[in-house]
Structure 1
Amino acid sequence: MSIDIDPLREADGITVTDHIENTQFEVYTDRPVDPRRRPESNHYFPVDASVAVETGAIEIPRVAVVETRGGDGALLTHGDCYEMPDGIYHVGINPAPTKLYLTFESGFSVSTTDRTTRIDLDTPGTVGLGFRSLHQTPAGTITTPTDPESLMDAVSLLGSALQTTSPERSFPTLRGHPPLIEPAEEFRVPERVEPVESGVRIVVPPEYRYLYPVVSLAYYFAADVVPGDAPRIEGDGWTYPLEPGFEERTARVLRQSFHMDCLARTEGFYPVDLHERETTDLDLDWKRLYNLPLAERLGEYLEVPFEDIKPELPQWTLTTDVRPDPENVEMLPFVAGELSIVRSPETVTPVDDDGGVGVGFFGGADRSPSAATRREVPVGGVAPDGGALGDALGDAEFVRGGASAGAESMADTSAGTTRGADASAERGAVSAQTEFVRPEPVDTVEHAWVGDGVPLDANKATLDAYHRRLEAGRVEQSRISVLVVCNDEQMREEGNVADLYGLRDMVQFDIEVRHDLTRAELRETLESDVDFLHYIGHVDDRGMQCADSYLDLTDEDLEIGVSAFLLNACQSYQQGEALVHRGSRGGIVTLSDVANSPATTLGRIIARLMNSGFNLRTALHVAKRELITGHQYIVVGDGGTTICQSRSGIAPVVQLAKSDDGLYSMEIDSYPNGPYGVGTMTTPNVDTINSSYYVPSHIHMDSASKESINQFVELETLPIFLEEKLTWSDRVEL
């Protein structure tokens, strides 16, 4: 059983622990309860665990929407404040760390405060509570030869994970994880992987560069992928060409069809007031579209010119570059499951040492030590807008990139501290085995890279990390462990980040700070069961600096127990990559020397974001908005890794600007996060917002009062850009 349900010790109610997702939350009652198991089939929607309690009220410590269905499952109403007469009801409460359903026979009322949602029964009695983990696992593994035509048969089965072909599959909980793909000499399909007959066909030439970009479409449309000359999508009686501009048109189809499904699904089980439905100016019969078979509905979607809906489309979250090589086939189910836009670049631009004209701090294999330690150009390199990073840091900062032991070194001054060790004048800027590549820019919020090379400004995604996402099993404790290791006296200021972890209601953290670990102690630490490691110190070619020596993770035979990490040290990429290969899910690392002051600031930002439930990729995205030096960092491994769940499930980022009339313009960017993936529905708790939005979303209000903003930001700890400067909801002063 992945979910444990136990009575609370210090209050009336129960505590619910999902051991797969590592989440825990409390449900309160108006009297002491003794939960007893009951059949999961008593609930309208499927659940993993079910109990019954005797109570007159149910309360959860978060603001939520309560959805009420009758005994037959028909949706009656939803909201956060209403009353219902006597009857038999199935009630859903969302968001919650697991899917949460109630069933009872009584009239009731729903009420909310600024922090809680409460259901009061007119007649106390038996209430059934059902819980379903948001964790998703594949039904099995398809084995296949890796030639393109054989692989097409495997990709055609990705859509077998869909739990429906209706527009409701735009909800992440109704898509399911695609089956895995594994190279083999023979094509074999597990019994549990059954094809879905959607009537959609995707025709592409039998080449990796054409096959890889359509994997998300094949999954979402449950489409058959077949070989042909002209790339196109076909249904009964219609054809949609995918050229010219194959990859761009493929991305457009994904965005357009998904958007229109989110609009059409309001005609089904969830008839909510969806903002995007109101603002998308299309004269379509959505009810008729909702009831059409998938292929016929898709054909009508694609008759709508993309330019007609483009203004209403949110910025898509993720683009993944998958190099067109057979060794990357195992990554395809994971990429498709994230509904990523996929590109398959045949060529890639290498990053060479160009004397600071182009990249600056990113060195190549032939970079000389003197250039690494005493160059006159800013070690911060060149910013994305073409300006030098050193210009943004100031002269006292940009000389920190070299840390040689010579007289020219500034490592012995507080102004010149770097995160690289100062003992080796021979080391270059990067290892000779490291090849940096520069992927083409993306229009999405996040960017991942699958293939050889270390990508600038993109998540280096790896197969072993994605497999560990699926292998997350039962944990022995529900508390979240954070270990802060500071191995340098001059960097003790960043060690105070321990104060930023654990600033959460209803989430239990074990936080430990350790200083000056020896080689043996650091080795033991890395092998221990830690949810997040925040390392502060020095890294160079010899490994991670310890009090007595160095620990090189690329040479050591370690079984890593650390789940996620931030290695806030110079050139920590290779050590971080080794952590992932040896057991971690993912982490944030550096590609260059990093100056101490901005590194400290970035470390504190990442600490707060991870504490708030953000995943690694989104956390780094937010940090880059605040610090230009954030472009010296990338994510390695599974960029979707979190250490806890955000209070609202998704990852919201707020931007505020004061108007002349004393009011504020407020923008909320909501990013998918963990189980709350693309298509999740969200309703901001702001008194002027009456509609729901689908995630990812950009919500804009021109005239928000100080009172309504304060009420909203008090609900959870949020990053807020106030007049373009990053602050936090528990510190903001309007």
Structure 2
Amino acid sequence: MSIDIDPLRAADGLTVTDHIENTQFEVYTDRRVDPQPRPESDHYFPVDASVAVETGSIEIPRVGLVETRDWDGNLLTRGDCYEMPAGEYHIGINPAPTKTYLGIKTGFSVSTTDRTTRIDLDVPSEIRLGFRSLHQTPAGTIKTPTDPKSVMKAVSLLGTALQTTSPERSFPTLRGHPPLIEPNESFEIPSQVTPIDSNVEIIIPPEYRYLYPVVSLAYYFAADVVPGDEPRIEGDGWTYPLEPGFEERTAQVLRQSFHMDCLARTEGFYPVDLHERETTNLDLNWEQLYDLPLAERLGEYLDVPFEEIEPELPQWTLTTDVRPDPENVEMLPFVAGELSIIRSPETVTPVDNDEGAGVGFFRGPGGNTAITIEGRAMSDDVSVDCGELMRGGASVGDTRGADASVERGAVPAQTEFIRPEPVDTVEHAWVGDGVPLDANKATLDAYHRRLEAGQVEQSRISVLVVCNDEQMREEDNVGDLYGLRDMVQFDIEVRHDLSREEMRDVLSSNVDFLHYIGHVDDRGMQCADDYLDLTNEDLEIGVSAFLLNACQSYQQGEALVHRGSRGGIVTLSDVANSPATKLGRIIARLMNSGFNLRTALHVAKRELITGHQYIVVGDGGTTICQSRSGAALVLSLEHTQTECLDVLVEGFPNGPYGIGSLMYINLERDDRNYIIPSKVSINEVTAKKVKDFLDLEDTPIFYDEKLTWNDELPDLTDQG
């Protein structure tokens, strides 16, 4: 079973552990309870586990909205403060780390505080609780030859995962994971993959460079992809051209149609007060649009010029570059499932390691240092002089590489660095050969491992900090930063100077996150007695995710992913010890706060220009725990002319709270929801309200344009 439901030890209630998503939360009751298994059919919506308890109240440590339906599933009301008379009800509470449902056969009342949501029964009685993991698995695997026309047929079936063709499919839980694709000599469709007739066709030339960029559209529209000369989309009596500017037009269609679905869905099962709906300048009949079939609705959407809606659109989260090669077809379902904008570059720009044009740290003639990042010189506060400690042992100073020779250069000669074209999205992934600068090197085995994530033997989240160098002990106190959560249980261990054999044992253990501090060079990871080269060793890897905070750790990290890890953060070059320590501390707090690898590194780069020396390898969506809010939140605070502050709240998709999820900001008392991703500006907020808001959750905060945290923030009432 993917979900365990156990009695709490230190309080009255239950612990709910989702072993697939590595999430855990507590449900409180007004008395000790003994959960008894119940059939999953007790609940209106599907659940993975169901129990019954006798209690007078249910409380969760989340500020959520409670949705009440009658026993037939009809929506009765939704809110955070109301009462219901005696009756039989199905209840859902959102957000929560798992889908949470209650079955109640009595009257009840709903109330919220600034930290909890509570349901009080009129009389103590049996409550049936159901929980469903937000983990999604493919229905099956489509086998196909890898010629473009055959792959077009396979891509046409990605939309079979959609659980609805209504605008509600803009919710991540109603999209489903696309079926997998596997190369094969003949075309085979598994019986459980049933085509959906959406009456939408995407016509493109049968070439990979045209096929790959439309994959997310084919999935989201459940569209048939068919060969033709002029790229276009066709529906019930309408045609929309995808030229000129094929890839740009394709991205615009995805962004526009998805956003308009989010607005239209407020006319359906979830009639929430949506900020984007209230502020749109589009004068459309949303009720009528909601009721239209998908093809007709899409035609109406695309009748609106993109220029009219573009100012309303949030910054999209992810762009993925997929090289137009047949060996990349297996990646397509994973990229589509993330609703990524897809580009398919036919050529790449290699980076000449000798030029020092963006890889990071390079040695000039005679051992002098020359540092540029993305063509920009480092500012004085992060520049490296010959006396600064680097994470290795070059003649210019110590670096996080071990005994590095001047001749060795920044990277092994066999590594090909490439520079992808810049993106307008928050995150950037690369599928294909080469090591991309400033992009997540996505790999198929890592994405498969996301699906294969199975049960763990313990409900606690394990973090291991390994420091293999005495001079870097300043960073090993990151162990204190993991586990700064009041509702998530961590096992945190800090170890020093591990031997080669001890390091092998660590890597084979089922650790959720490994934070490695030390040296890496061509010989591998430095241990107390020798080097451990992960690229050559026959190792069993059990570590789920990692940060290898050492010089040139890319190849060692790539080997970890190849041998069993989901993903991690690695370096492309030599890294100076001081900024590396700062980055290590930032990543530790962000991962502890529930950020995924890609978004964590994105935030770190905003604070440290040296963050561009790091990339994510493997599955960039990997998390070690879930944020208290569900979404990953970043705040920016700015003092005004008064004693108030302007607050910018950025919400990023994260884990099960993917693009299209809803969030609301518990800063002002209103019920408006926002679509994730969002940037929410709230002006002239009193310092006390900001402080009360920040007390709810450990959150990264940009204050005076510097990254800080709740426990490091100065007294806001003394500023201004």
TM-score bucket of the superposed structures, by smaller chain: over 0.9
Match of 1:389 among 356, 378, 402: 378
**Counterpart in the other structure of 1:415:** none
**Counterpart in the other structure of 1:47:** 47
**Counterpart in the other structure of 2:397:** 410
| 1:109 Cα offset (Å) | 1.3
Residue 259 of structure 2 aligns to a residue whose secondary structure is helix
Tell whether the 8 Å contact from 2:508 to 2:540 is kept in structure 1 after alignment.
Answer: yes
Residue 496 of structure 1 aligns to a residue whose secondary structure is helix
Match of 2:653 among 653, 658, 672: 672
User: What letter is aligned with 1:69?
Assistant: R
- 1:480-510 CA distances to partner (integer Å, 9 max, x unpaired)? 1100000001100000000000111121111
| 1:453 Cα offset (Å) | 0.4
| 1:253 Cα offset (Å) | 0.3
| 1:107 Cα offset (Å) | 1.8
- 1:308-361 CA distances to partner (integer Å, 9 max, x unpaired)? 1111100000000000000000000000000000000000110013544x3363
User: What letter is aligned with 2:267?
Assistant: E
**Counterpart in the other structure of 2:423:** 442
**Counterpart in the other structure of 1:332:** 332
In the alignment, does 2:364 pair up with 1:375? Answer: no
**Whole-angstrom distance in 2 between the partners of 1:527 and 1:280:** 52
**Whole-angstrom distance in 1 between the partners of 2:550 and 2:601:** 15
**Whole-angstrom distance in 2 between the partners of 1:256 and 1:699:** 19
**Counterpart in the other structure of 1:560:** 541
Residue 120 of structure 1 aligns to a residue whose secondary structure is strand
In the alignment, does 2:592 pair up with 1:593? Answer: no
**Whole-angstrom distance in 2 between the partners of 1:677 and 1:423:** 43
Residue 350 of structure 1 aligns to a residue whose secondary structure is coil
User: What letter is aligned with 2:505?
Assistant: E
Match of 2:666 among 665, 668, 685: 685
Alignment of 1:260-659 (within 5 A): 260-353=260-353, 355-356=355-356, 358-359=357-358, 361=360, 371=364, 374-377=367-370, 379=371, 381-382=372-373, 384=374, 386-389=375-378, 391-396=380-385, 406=395, 409-411=396-398, 418-422=399-403, 424-659=405-640
| 1:85 Cα offset (Å) | 2.1
**Whole-angstrom distance in 1 between the partners of 2:387 and 2:98:** 47
| 1:690 Cα offset (Å) | 3.3
Match of 1:727 among 679, 697, 708: 708
| 1:540 Cα offset (Å) | 0.6
| 1:400 Cα offset (Å) | 5.8
Alignment of 1:144-163 (within 5 A): 144-163=144-163
**Counterpart in the other structure of 1:414:** none
- 1:414-455 CA distances to partner (integer Å, 9 max, x unpaired)? xxxx21112544422111110000000000000000000000
Residue 498 of structure 2 aligns to a residue whose secondary structure is coil
Runs of at least 4 residues off by over 4 Å: 397-406
Residue 321 of structure 2 aligns to a residue whose secondary structure is strand
| 1:699 Cα offset (Å) | 0.4
- 1:385-407 CA distances to partner (integer Å, 9 max, x unpaired)? x431254414547966695554x
User: Residues 248, 494 of structure 1: CA spacing in aligned structure 2 closer, same or farther, 3 A cutoff?
Assistant: same
**Counterpart in the other structure of 1:65:** 65
Residue 87 of structure 1 aligns to a residue whose secondary structure is coil
**Whole-angstrom distance in 2 between the partners of 1:697 and 1:145:** 40
**Counterpart in the other structure of 1:694:** 675
User: Residues 206, 489 of structure 1: CA spacing in aligned structure 2 closer, same or farther, 3 A cutoff?
Assistant: same
Larger mean Cα displacement after TM superposition, 164-173 or 119-128: 119-128
Tell whether the 8 Å contact from 2:144 to 2:154 is kept in structure 1 after alignment.
Answer: yes
User: What letter is aligned with 1:176?
Assistant: G
Alignment of 1:138-149 (within 5 A): 138-149=138-149
**Whole-angstrom distance in 2 between the partners of 1:477 and 1:643:** 14
In the alignment, does 2:100 pair up with 1:111? Answer: no
User: What letter is aligned with 1:128?
Assistant: R
User: Residues 626, 361 of structure 1: CA spacing in aligned structure 2 closer, same or farther, 3 A cutoff?
Assistant: closer
User: What letter is aligned with 1:410?
Assistant: G
**Whole-angstrom distance in 2 between the partners of 1:181 and 1:608:** 37
User: Residues 41, 697 of structure 1: CA spacing in aligned structure 2 closer, same or farther, 3 A cutoff?
Assistant: same
**Whole-angstrom distance in 2 between the partners of 1:600 and 1:689:** 41
**Counterpart in the other structure of 1:217:** 217
Q: Specify every segment of 5 or more residues in structure 1 that has no aligned partner in the other structure, as ranges.
A: 364-369, 412-417
User: What letter is aligned with 1:212?
Assistant: Y
| 1:66 Cα offset (Å) | 1.2
User: Residues 460, 108 of structure 1: CA spacing in aligned structure 2 closer, same or farther, 3 A cutoff?
Assistant: same
User: Residues 129, 352 of structure 1: CA spacing in aligned structure 2 closer, same or farther, 3 A cutoff?
Assistant: same
Q: Specify every segment of 5 or more residues in structure 2 that has no aligned partner in the other structure, as ranges.
A: none
**Counterpart in the other structure of 1:190:** 190
Larger mean Cα displacement after TM superposition, 31-40 or 642-651: 31-40
- 1:555-613 CA distances to partner (integer Å, 9 max, x unpaired)? 10111111000000011000000010010000000001110000000000000000011
- TM-score normalised to structure 1 length: 0.95
Residue 711 of structure 2 aligns to a residue whose secondary structure is coil
| 1:133 Cα offset (Å) | 0.6
**Counterpart in the other structure of 1:238:** 238
User: What letter is aligned with 1:576?
Assistant: G
| 1:8 Cα offset (Å) | 2.1
Residue 252 of structure 1 aligns to a residue whose secondary structure is helix
Tell whether the 8 Å contact from 1:322 to 1:328 is kept in structure 2 after alignment.
Answer: yes
User: Residues 372, 327 of structure 1: CA spacing in aligned structure 2 closer, same or farther, 3 A cutoff?
Assistant: farther
- TM-score normalised to structure 2 length: 0.97
| 1:689 Cα offset (Å) | 4.3
**Whole-angstrom distance in 2 between the partners of 1:186 and 1:660:** 69
**Counterpart in the other structure of 1:258:** 258
